């Protein structure tokens, strides 16, 4: 059985992916999240990434922010239990 590479995903990568903002690293952010979603790598985020994104995107309606965080928690392996609790 092949061991998966584990990576800690920076909050900027997550934010760029979720908002699809005009960023030079948008394609790279998508690729990283895709690799995590397809379980080619194990992606993790620091717990404070969730609160940082919530705060940074405060002008976005809370329903949308909540769906963003749920989506990213489902993708990144270290937070699946949290996603289930938040739904």
**Residues 4-40: pLDDT tens digits?**
889 999 999 999 999 998 999 999 999 999 999 998 9
Handedness of CA 29, 35, 39, 42 (dihedral sign): negative
For residue 7, give the H/E element and its range.
Answer: strand 5-8
The number of beta carbons lying within 10 Å of the beta carbon of residue 42 is 16
Number of domains in the chain: 1
Structure tokens at 30: 């998508």
CA distances from 54 to 2, 31, 50 (A): 35, 23, 6
Q: Is the pTM of this model over 0.85?
A: no
Task: Name the residue range of residue 33's domain.
Answer: 5-86
């Amino acid at each position: 059985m092949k061991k998966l590479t584990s990576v800690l995903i920076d909050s900027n990568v997550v934010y760029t992916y979720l908002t699809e903002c005009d960023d030079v690293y948008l394609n790279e952010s998508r690729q990283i999240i895709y690799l995590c979603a397809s379980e080619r790598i194990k992606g993790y985020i620091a717990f404070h990434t969730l609160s940082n994104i919530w705060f940074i995107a405060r002008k976005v309606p809370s329903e949308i922010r909540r769906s963003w965080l749920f989506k990213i928690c489902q993708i990144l392996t270290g937070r699946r239990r949290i996603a289930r609790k938040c739904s």
